[in-house]
Amino acid sequence: MATTVITDALVIVSTDQRGRVETSDAIAIDGNRIVAIGDAARAMVDLPDTDLIDGTGHTILPGVGDGHAHPIFAGLELLGPEIRSGRTPEAIATSVKQFADANPDLEWIVGGSYDSSIIPGGLFDATWLDSIDRPVVLNAWDYHTVWVNSEALRRAGVTSETPEPELGRIVRRPDGTPMGTLQEYGAIDLVKAVMPADDSERLALALKRASDHFIELGVTWVQDAWVDPQHVDGYLEAAAKGFIRNRFNLALRAEPTAWRPQVEAFPLDRERIRSANHPLLTCNTVKFFADGVVENHTAAMIDPYTDRVEQDDRGIANWTQEELTAAAIEFDRLGFQLHIHAIGDMGNRLALNAFEEVERVNGPRDRRGVIAHVQILEPSDLGRFAQLGVIANFEPYWAQMDPLMTELTLPRIGHRSAHQYRIVDVIESGAYVTFGSDWPVTTPDWRSGLEVGVTRETTDGVPVGGWEPSQRVSPAQGVWAYTAAMAHQAFADDSGTLKPGSVADFIELSANPLEIEPHKLPSVRVIATWVDGKRYG
Ligand SMILES: [Zn+2]
């Protein structure tokens, strides 16, 4: 196979958690491997059969990983109407109508995700979407709320007579008729039950859109943190059609009420992915939701929410400690990596306790468990990540004083604001820290994530000097969390750095992200993305 040598580039060979950086000026690739860097790579230029690429001063960075994302949901959004930028209900309805007119064969119009804060209380009316001649279902950004039109309510049989579901809320007008906003799954499922399910062809198309977008951004490895059984078919279909361009590791979602049969089923799903023998797909992980989110008062807290002390509201743990631990032990015994969503300080403690018990009961093993989000950590729990070898996956874009933080988070948690996103403290404790996007909840663009992680300011520069500035990572630490640390999370020890023998996953950038003024990071262009030795650009 021909060797490719890229010269005259700044090659960022590796970064580490202390912010140390190793660089070179040339890199040689043969097949899907890096075979040499620096002088040794330049020496290969004169060999027969060598392709030479002039790097023209670009920066070469190890491929970026996204340690927690939802590519299926994101891809389905991209297949639907564009409503994310809509600042008024009319603008959203116009976009939905145009999309419906352009897609006359779709029986239902499904889209996401709208910003519920554009209307006070987030209460949207079905009639605003009634100019569309078919049922419409739109997801809010939090994926815990939908806005539907009257035809969707009619098909679901939701009327003034419908009783309130147990785990959800049908928002009603004063006369008792359903308004068109459904909150939480108990209510949302009333409509979902009558919607046609997405078949594997559509799921495969969604994955194609997501994968194409990751490649544009320079993201080479993605942890899909929510895979249901039918999604596995979507991945297999996408793989068969050649739609998969970046690496995906699938996390099968364990449910508190169904995990025992899932202990039987998940190894079969893992085997289906394994036997497809696709070089970019793995299914090594099981996902748990320990709790919900602060904005809905569903994150599990040690002490009551500041605005609900009288009700003694401490949020909702989705699992008891006993059940979470029992399930974690069983899935660990099957060799799965565990990936636990935890937002509240009690959610994080439940997850850490489960990992501690897994280690005690099943014995030591290289398990690389992950807690995702790690929003609020009780200070006495901070050192446990390093002790237990648990990876803390943060979404750095969330560590900013945006309206979500100032209006929906701080009033609910009071002094615990300072316990949020202790990224530097966790790194300094000796634990692995990885970064992620939670796309489509927030942008999949790692350049914006790095910008916020480094500044702890909004993209407009607020507050000046950063919120909790001691927790600002250096650019090199941030890149480490997106690359070498991510390789650890991915069990891909031959990636994340650009050393001879590493897999050829890397990106060509127009500027050096370690040197550029942090607020200019989003302007760094991704010129090409290499995955497994293939160049897309
Ligand atoms: Zn998520």
Tell me: pLDDT of 168 over 80.
no
Tell me: pLDDT of 82 over 90.
yes
The secondary element (H helix, E strand) that includes residue 54 is strand 50-54
- Ligand 1 geometric centre to CA of 395 (Å): 10
Q: Which of 207-221, 288-302, 503-517, 518-532 has the lowest mean pLDDT?
A: 288-302
Mean pLDDT across the chain: 95
Ranges of CATH 3.20.20.140 domains, the chain? 200-531
Supply the pLDDT for residue 1: 61
Query: Per CATH, the architecture of 108-192 is what?
Result: Roll (3.10)
- Ligand 1 geometric centre to CA of 506 (Å): 25
- Ligand 1 geometric centre to CA of 75 (Å): 14
Kindly report, residue by residue over 219-246, the tens digit of the pLDDT. 999 999 999 999 999 999 999 999 999 9
Kindly report, residue by residue over 441-479, the tens digit of the pLDDT. 999 999 999 999 999 999 999 999 999 999 999 999 999
Tell me: pLDDT of 44 over 70.
yes
- Ligand 1 geometric centre to CA of 441 (Å): 8
- Ligand 1 geometric centre to CA of 11 (Å): 32
ω into 463 cis (within 30 of 0): yes
How are strands ordered across the β-sheet holding 27-30?
33-37, 27-30, 3-7, 50-54
ω into 500 cis (within 30 of 0): no
| Dihedral sign of CA atoms 456, 461, 462, 465 in order | positive
Tell me: pLDDT of 87 over 90.
yes
Kindly report, residue by residue over 346-379, the tens digit of the pLDDT. 999 999 999 999 999 999 999 999 999 999 999 9
CA–CA separation, 398 and 219 (whole Å): 19
- Ligand 1 geometric centre to CA of 1 (Å): 40
- Ligand 1 geometric centre to CA of 373 (Å): 8
Q: What 3-state DSSP class applies to 128?
A: helix
CA–CA separation, 290 and 390 (whole Å): 15
- Ligand 1 geometric centre to CA of 161 (Å): 35
Supply the pLDDT for residue 144: 77
Q: What 3-state DSSP class applies to 296?
A: helix
Report the candidate in 329, 323, 394, 391 with the shortest Cα–Cα distance to residue 360: 329
- Ligand 1 geometric centre to CA of 15 (Å): 27
Render 284-321 in DSSP notation, one character per residue.
Answer: EEEEEE----GGGT-S--SS--GGGTTTT-----SS-H
Supply the pLDDT for residue 118: 86
Please check whether residue 129 is in contact with residue 97, taking contact to mean a CB–CB distance below 8 angstroms.
no
CA–CA separation, 435 and 454 (whole Å): 12
- Ligand 1 geometric centre to CA of 225 (Å): 6
Supply the pLDDT for residue 167: 73
**What is the mean pLDDT of the segment spanning 107-129?**
90
Ramachandran region, residue 442 (left: φ > 0; alpha: ψ -120 to 50; beta: rest): beta
Tell me the backbone φ, ψ of residue 239, rounded to 5 degrees.
-65, -45
- Ligand 1 geometric centre to CA of 185 (Å): 16
- Ligand 1 geometric centre to CA of 70 (Å): 6
Report the candidate in 368, 436, 386, 41 with the shortest Cα–Cα distance to residue 221: 436
- Ligand 1 geometric centre to CA of 344 (Å): 14
- Ligand 1 geometric centre to CA of 431 (Å): 21
* Residues forming beta bridges with residue 52, ordered by sequence position: 5
Report the candidate in 17, 42, 48 with the shortest Cα–Cα distance to residue 27: 42
Supply the pLDDT for residue 306: 96
- The two tokens of residue 10 are 């700044």
Kindly report, residue by residue over 290-301, the tens digit of the pLDDT. 998 888 788 999
Q: What 3-state DSSP class applies to 144?
A: coil
- Ligand 1 geometric centre to CA of 333 (Å): 24
- The two tokens of residue 416 are 């615990």
- The two tokens of residue 407 are 């209006």
Helix intervals (H) in 83-228:
89-102, 150-156, 184-192, 200-217
CA–CA separation, 276 and 278 (whole Å): 6
CA–CA separation, 298 and 507 (whole Å): 39
Neighbours of 63 (CB within 10 A): 27
Kindly report, residue by residue over 15-27, the tens digit of the pLDDT. 999 999 999 999 9
Please check whether residue 93 is in contact with residue 122, taking contact to mean a CB–CB distance below 8 angstroms.
no
Q: Which residue has the tokens 């809509």?
A: 86
200-531 folds as: TIM Barrel (3.20.20)
Ranges of CATH 3.10.310.70 domains, the chain? 108-192
CA 184 to centroid of chain Cα atoms: 20
Supply the pLDDT for residue 206: 98
Render 405-419 in DSSP notation, one character per residue.
Answer: IIIIIHHHHGGGGGG
